[in-house]
């Protein structure tokens, strides 16, 4: 019998006031866009994927493995962190089936960058990763354009 587990991940970051901070989503830098505030590069997409994988494997969450109180992770590349998570999941005997994500933001439009994000994430995860984008339609903090959130679901199997 094949065991399967599903995990969900969520991350949210406000926009940064730090000059020169880059916007990184799914390991892709979106040139000319304001960056997100965070301890690492604040890649909400990579963070949500990492949390979905960790949750499915029963390995805690991204904050447990990469706490923002640890200076080693300051400015860290989130795809590097995601690669570490993939290694932890695989070390527990799990294979990753797929990952599905939804980024919630008012702007910028992600359509021109979606394929590159999927390619970068899949290259680290080793399986298909779908990236979708939705607007919050003016509702709440996300609808007012105060930040970016991402939801992710991951399927693991043995």
In order, the DSSP letters of 84-151 are HHHHHHHHTT-EEEEEEEEEE-SSS--GGGHHHHHHHHHHHHSS-EEEEEE--TT-HHHHTTSEEEEE
Query: Facing residues of 104 across strands?
Result: 134, 149
Q: Are strands 22-25 and 28-34 parallel, antiparallel or unpaired?
A: antiparallel
Q: In the chain, what are the domain boundaries?
A: 4-157
- The pLDDT value recorded for residue 70 is 84
Report the 10 Å Cβ neighbour count for 113: 21
- The pLDDT value recorded for residue 68 is 84
- Angstrom CA distances, 87 to 28, 59, 84, 125, 139, stand at 21, 12, 5, 9, 38
Q: What is the mean pLDDT of residues 98-108?
A: 97
**Cis amide bond preceding 108, omega within 30:** yes
Residue-wise pLDDT for 35-93, tens only, equals 999 999 999 999 999 999 999 999 999 999 998 888 888 888 999 999 999 999 999 99
What topology does CATH give the domain 4-157? 60s Ribosomal Protein L30; Chain: A; (3.30.1330)
Q: Residue 29 is encoded by which pair of tokens?
A: 């830098």
Q: What is the mean pLDDT of residues 132-149?
A: 96
DSSP state of 2: -
Q: What are phi and psi of 44, to 5 degrees?
A: -60, -30
pLDDT range class, residue 2, cuts 50, 70, 90 = low
């Amino acid at each position: 019998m094949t065991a399967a587990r599903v995990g969900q991940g969520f991350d949210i970051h406000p926009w940064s006031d730090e000059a020169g901070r880059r916007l990184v989503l799914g390991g892709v830098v979106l040139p000319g866009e304001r960056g997100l505030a965070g301890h690492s590069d604040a890649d909400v997409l990579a963070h949500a994927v990492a949390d979905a994988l960790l949750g499915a494997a029963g390995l805690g969450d991204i904050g447990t493995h990469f706490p923002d109180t640890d200076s080693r992770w300051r400015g860290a590349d989130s795809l590097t962190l995601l690669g570490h998570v993939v290694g932890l999941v695989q070390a527990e005997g799990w294979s990753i089936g797929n990952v599905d994500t939804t980024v919630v933001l008012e702007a910028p439009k992600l359509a021109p960058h979606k394929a590159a994000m999927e390619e970068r994430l899949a290259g680290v995860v080793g399986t298909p990763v779908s990236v979708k984008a939705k607007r919050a339609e003016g509702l709440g903090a996300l609808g007012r354009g105060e930040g970016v959130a991402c939801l992710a679901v991951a399927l693991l199997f043995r």
